[in-house]
Amino acid sequence: MSTRAGLPLTYLTYCHNLPLQRLKNQEQCNQLVLDLAKDMACTLGYIEDVKQFARLAQLKQAIRDVTPLLEDTSNFIVEFTYDGRGS
């Protein structure tokens, strides 16, 4: 009889902790993604600094190529993360 009494408790513990753990994991993932977006935004600042002193044509072209990619990716991450939190 003690085995039967323990089953509902085990079930409730499992069912209620599982969603809580998923929420914790999602929050951790969201924070990592936001940190990535912040780091990418800092990188854009560094690129602007380098752009001022760039003399080589290849470096200038690399800066032109990478800047929109970093901007678009950073914007997507921020929008996606905040949209996910709002819903």
**Domains of the chain by residue range:** 2-86
Residue 64: the pLDDT is 92
Q: Distance (Å, rounded) from C-alpha 47 to C-alpha 61? A: 12
For residue 45, pLDDT beyond 50: yes
| pLDDT tens digits, 52-86 | 999 999 999 999 999 898 888 888 887 877 776 54
Q: Which residue has the higher pLDDT, 61 or 39?
A: 61
3-class SS string, 39-85: HHHHHHHHHHHHHHHCCCHHHHHHHHHHHHHHHHHHHHHHHHHHHHH
Q: CB 30: neighbour CB atoms within 10 A?
A: 15
